[in-house]
């Protein structure tokens, strides 16, 4: 019932005003060879890319100030846009806040650690300070303690890759005492701990999050495999009913498919690539795997990042390809979360992944999926350690 109500709400709230690139079938798409960039885009001067979409560089170290880390967005799992898309936050501390429409710099904000925007209140972020869960009001620049976890020295918000449920009720936290860690699901609405799970050593722990609709707690381990501390595990919110979902944990995000199911969307692995599909989604409720990005004529996308931060547009995931000489090399695209092999192509990001991890595009969509933020050195025309941020959108 929760799933049905959520999908119907989004269908009513999204309306028909948004524009997206045309639908294409992966096997019928004309994939062009990658063409390197020749000139660097100017700050806040939009231009049209070869896909017919508008691209704007939205940060400049000389204009805004700060260091270069503060002039790119944080990560593909962290939405830069607040809930009504009037504001944008970039990475670092303090964080640069931009106007969500003009992309101009507004101010610096001393946000909490691992802060993410509220999904329901455009003025709030949630993050941590020491062993406290806090909210941060961007308008008055004030933090307020929601709960102090006195049993722990510090708490982490999912190791910088967690997200709250879409209704802002449930959040996944990690309590730390020296080298020992405990997973915590906290109910913000009722100010109660729903469940905890002591893990002992944090070795190999990659990230922890609650699912979009607040039904599950998901733990990702860095080592591949199906042992206790390997692969991807899912629990009910109180840490009962443990299930193993997959041995492989490539770059991924948690989203909602076209039928309203909560899913884990990830790049393929050694098993999927051998079967000619390069992205997969796994249903959290029962582990059903659906192949995505099936391609049989050459090597498909692999090795970039995936984002499902399009919280007001369920049924799609956003991909920034970046690893290899593949079809769609360095492309940014959306893929429909069903078995139709449908994509929307936004353009190429020109990021130089192999120079360093900080140079990755790590594309992330806005709430309705009409815009995508990414970072790029623009084929090394920008030479700073952290590249500037760009937004591509259909116009």
Q: What whole-number distance in Å separates Cα of residue 273 and Cα of residue 226? A: 19
Q: Which residues of 250-288 are buried (b: 16+ CB within 10 A; e: fewer)?
A: bbbbbbbbbebbbbbbbbbbeebeeebbbbbbbbbeeee
Indicate yes or no: pTM above 0.85.
yes
Give 292-341 pLDDT, tens digit per residue. Answer: 999 998 888 888 999 999 999 999 999 999 867 789 999 999 999 999 99
Mean of all residue pLDDT scores within the chain: 93
Pairing outcome for strands 113-117 and 364-365? unpaired
Q: By C-alpha distance, which of 125, 107, 108 is closest to 116?
A: 125
Residue 271 is inside which H or E element, if any? helix 270-274
Percent of the chain with pLDDT over 70: 95
Quick one: CA torsion of 6, 12, 17, 20, rounded to 10 degrees? 30
Residue 63 is inside which H or E element, if any? helix 61-64
Whether 106 shows a pLDDT value over 70: the answer reads yes
Domain boundaries, the chain: 17-76+252-395
Contacts of 206 (CB under 8 A, 6+ apart): 159, 161, 220, 221, 222, 249
Pairing outcome for strands 205-210 and 192-201? unpaired
Q: What whole-number distance in Å separates Cα of residue 174 and Cα of residue 4? A: 31
Quick one: CA torsion of 332, 359, 383, 326, rounded to 10 degrees? -50
């Amino acid at each position: 019932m929760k799933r049905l109500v959520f999908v119907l709400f989004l269908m009513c709230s999204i309306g028909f005003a948004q524009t997206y690139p045309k639908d294409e079938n992966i096997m019928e798409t004309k994939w062009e060879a990658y063409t390197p960039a020749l000139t660097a885009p100017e700050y806040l001067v939009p231009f049209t890319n070869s896909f017919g979409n508008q691209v704007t560089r939205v940060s400049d170290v000389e204009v805004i100030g700060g260091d270069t880390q503060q002039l790119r967005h944080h990560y593909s799992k962290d939405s830069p846009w607040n809930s009504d898309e009037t504001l944008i936050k970039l990475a670092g501390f303090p964080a640069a806040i931009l106007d969500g429409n003009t992309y101009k710099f507004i101010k610096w904000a001393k946000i909490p650690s691992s802060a993410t925007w509220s999904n329901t209140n455009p003025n709030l972020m949630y993050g941590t300070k020491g062993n406290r869960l806090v909210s941060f009001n961007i308008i008055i620049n004030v933090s307020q303690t929601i709960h102090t976890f006195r049993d722990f020295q510090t708490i982490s918000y999912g190791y910088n890759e967690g997200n709250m449920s879409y209704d802002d009720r449930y959040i996944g936290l990690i309590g730390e005492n020296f080298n020992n860690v405990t997973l915590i699901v906290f109910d913000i609405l009722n100010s109660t701990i729903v469940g905890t799970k002591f893990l002992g050593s944090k070795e190999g722990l990659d990230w922890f999050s609650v699912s979009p609709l607040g039904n599950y707690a998901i733990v990702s381990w860095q080592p591949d495999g199906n042992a206790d501390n390997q692969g991807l595990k899912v629990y009910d919110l109180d840490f009962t009913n443990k299930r193993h979902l997959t041995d492989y944990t490539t770059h991924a995000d948690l989203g909602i498919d076209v039928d309203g199911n909560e899913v884990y969307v990830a790049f393929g692995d050694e098993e999927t690539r051998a079967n000619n599909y390069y992205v997969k989604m796994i249903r959290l409720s029962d582990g059903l795997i659906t192949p995505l990005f099936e391609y049989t004529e050459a090597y498909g996308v692999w090795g970039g990042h995936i984002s499902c931060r399009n919280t007001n547009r369920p049924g799609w995931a956003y991909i920034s390809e970046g690893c290899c000489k593949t079809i769609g090399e360095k492309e940014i695209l959306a893929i429909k979360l069903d078995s139709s092999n449908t994509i929307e192509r936004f353009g190429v990001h020109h990021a130089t992944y192999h120079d360093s991890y900080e140079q990755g595009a790590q594309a992330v969509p806005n709430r309705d999926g009409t815009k995508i933020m990414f970072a790029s050195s623009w084929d090394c025309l920008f030479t700073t350690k952290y590249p500037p941020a760009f937004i591509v959108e259909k116009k």
